[in-house]
Amino acid sequence: MYRVVWLILICCAVQVPLFAQKTQALWLDDLPIKSFSEGIPAVLPKTTAAGDSMLINGRYFNRGVGVNATSILAFYLNGKATEFSALVGVDDKGNKDLPHTFYVVADRKVLFDSGEMRLGDAPKPVNVKLDGVQRLGLLVKVNDEGRTKVYSNWADAQLVMLDKHLPKNIPNTDERYILTPPTAKYPKINSAKVFGATPNNPFLYTIAATGDRPMSFSAKGLPKGLSLDEKTGIITGKVLKKGTYTATLKAKNALGEATKELKIKIGDTIALTPPIGWNGWNSWARNIDQQKVIASAEAMVKMGLNQHGWTYINIDDAWQGKRGGKFNAIQPNDKFPKFTEMVDYIHGLGLKVGVYSTPMITSYAGYIGGSSDFENGQITDSIVANKRAFRYVGKYRFEANDAKQFAEWGIDYLKYDWRIEVPSAERMSVALKQSGRDILYSISNSAPFAHVKDWVRLTNSYRTGPDIRDSWNSLFVSAFTLDKWAPYGGPGHWNDPDMMIVGNVTTGTQLHPTRLTPDEQYSHVSLFSLLATPLLIGCPIEQLDAFTLNLLTNDEVIEIDQDPLGKSARLVWNKDGIQIWLKPLEDGSYAVGLFNVGDFGKTPESYFRWGDETSKSFTFDFAKVGLKGKFMLRDVWRQKDLGIFNGSFITDIRHHGVVMLRMYSK
């Protein structure tokens, strides 16, 4: 009895637990590691980011995580871990010119800093204690500037966890606050104010209007050759003569009527405003099929998105079958058994249809592309099985064949995807213009800035960067760095930072709610609209919740994106964690985004979300961004006038959030 008491007293005195908790060593490569990645390039378990064996200074590793370029891995430990260990270094097949720095950050404290490491350096050991740590970040920082093969490794990486606990994703439980007021019951026309079409090509335009149904539509001043369905508001036909025509649109229901002027420009330029719609890749990836596409189109109507101007239903990679038909063009695979009927049905809803292709022999998903090393254009099963080896433009090319087939089907949009070079872009541009149909031409991905004048000349939109991911880092890289592209975007040729990352998305992992916080989502939609970019929803439309639907149906925000002047916002202030983006509008007013980006990218800690972030008070001095005098300010998200302000405006901006204003000179 006395011995037991004495043992307890000794244990308490030296703070040794009488019954120690069990621990387990957990390999990072046994986790679903992609789900923890908030960077942009690939993250792979047990291999390099390229899928090769991990090799650091001649030493092979069978365990670990391979990353590419700047990499961010974020874990929620909730105090259930005790230790992290690894060997870090630049992979022997990586870029020899770029220094990498590895950091381990826990609850805002840097626990490990490797210093600059280069290819050929011996791996450095990491061993840090994590007792009580809530959030852990593993960061590799490298100034890659778009260069490829920037490979590095967290070799033999292990977490020691208490009991059977596992690391989780960083919580995203902030209030999903709704700002936009409900849509009014009386009619309001939300269509873009200008629309372009080519003479003698099929014309399709739908009057987008909110308000109680039933609703009837009419139009005065339509050019000869066009007709309007008064029940649906769908305008179809062909216009033979070039020119600019002004039509007055009308929408009427039991509560009243609304009118709006529409400029119809029949000429050489289409896509006079950025395309706005849906793309299937971040919803369904390779699992896309005809039923899912139809469900998306029907949901766009059922959810009322079409009443706010959302138009395109775009099928991404994985629809392609074999070559055939009268044009020897790409035909749909067995997931799309009634392709023509599907297109006709979607057009009947007043929506437009897009497809995906590539000038390469195989697409990124491994389907047939627009070229071949065989004269008949076919690809073999062995090519499909080794798809990575055939991601190049083959000897025989079929742009004209495919463009004619797209036109015959009634396709309205083409996403053309590869490592972009001018000759392939030009060949398809010519083929589409000769197809007999207006097909919006969007090239992807990572268009080289050095050739931006060619993209403006040849295409209707061009991807300015890599594939987007649902993280603040990816959004920041994709959109907050677009100022140098801004002078080149405009009517007929738009800067494209990729799809929107709201709702449920599958960007490299299974379908899950976006990891952007609500504040970051408001910033996302605001900046895309200010930049006059394409707005392409990347989530299953039928799964939209009230918050996301509200985010996508603010007509004043969409109007800024669709402004006929077509000017991109410019970055006019970037200081003390605040960015100001300023966009001139056709009516002489300005759209402004005040963004609290914090010190993102400036310190290792800034790459992670710690859960204790706060708002920042900011004085918006008009003169410092080139605006002088008095302005009436309107809160665009709340659709509320704030009053007249002389010279400045003081506001709080939430962390990674935005205050979006429209400014009218007084």
Active site residues: 417, 467
Written as six digits, the tokens of 248 are 């007055």
Rounded to whole angstroms, how far apart are CA atoms 594 and 256? 37
Angle of helix 472-479 versus helix 518-530 axis, rounded to 10: 10
Provide the β-strand partners of residue 258: 251
> Dihedral angle at the C-alpha atoms of 148, 152, 158, 164, nearest 10 degrees?
-10
Q: What does the chain come to in residues?
A: 666
Written as six digits, the tokens of 326 are 């009268």
Place of tokens 């104010």: 193
- Cβ-proximal residues to 569 (8 Å cutoff; 6+ apart), any chain: 486, 527, 530, 531, 532, 581, 582, 583, 591, 593
Rounded to whole angstroms, how far apart are CA atoms 567 and 593? 15
Q: What are phi and psi of 327, to 5 degrees?
A: -100, 0
Written as six digits, the tokens of 93 are 């097949």
Provide the β-strand partners of residue 73: 37, 138
Report CA 180 to chain centroid distance, whole Å: 22
Rounded to whole angstroms, how far apart are CA atoms 219 and 233? 9
Rounded to whole angstroms, how far apart are CA atoms 444 and 416? 6
Angle of helix 422-433 versus helix 399-409 axis, rounded to 10: 40
Contact (Cβ atoms closer than 8 angstroms) between residue 470 and residue 515: yes
Strand-pair category, 616-621 with 648-653: antiparallel
Angle subtended at Cα 478 by Cα 196 and Cα 351, rounded to the nearest 5 degrees: 35
Which of 503, 566, 645, 655 has the alpha carbon at shortest distance from 265?
Answer: 566
Residue type, 312: Y
| Radius of gyration of the chain measured on its C-alpha atoms | 27
Provide the β-strand partners of residue 244: 265
Rounded to whole angstroms, how far apart are CA atoms 520 and 658? 8
- Other Cβ atoms closer than 10 A to 537: 28
- Other Cβ atoms closer than 10 A to 187: 22
Contact (Cβ atoms closer than 8 angstroms) between residue 529 and residue 554: no
Strand-pair category, 352-357 with 413-417: parallel
- Cβ-proximal residues to 581 (8 Å cutoff; 6+ apart), any chain: 527, 530, 531, 569, 570, 571, 572, 592, 593, 595
Angle subtended at Cα 80 by Cα 66 and Cα 115, rounded to the nearest 5 degrees: 40
Q: How far apart are the first and last CA of the chain?
A: 88
Written as six digits, the tokens of 204 are 């399709």
Which of 263, 59, 45 has the alpha carbon at shortest distance from 158?
Answer: 45
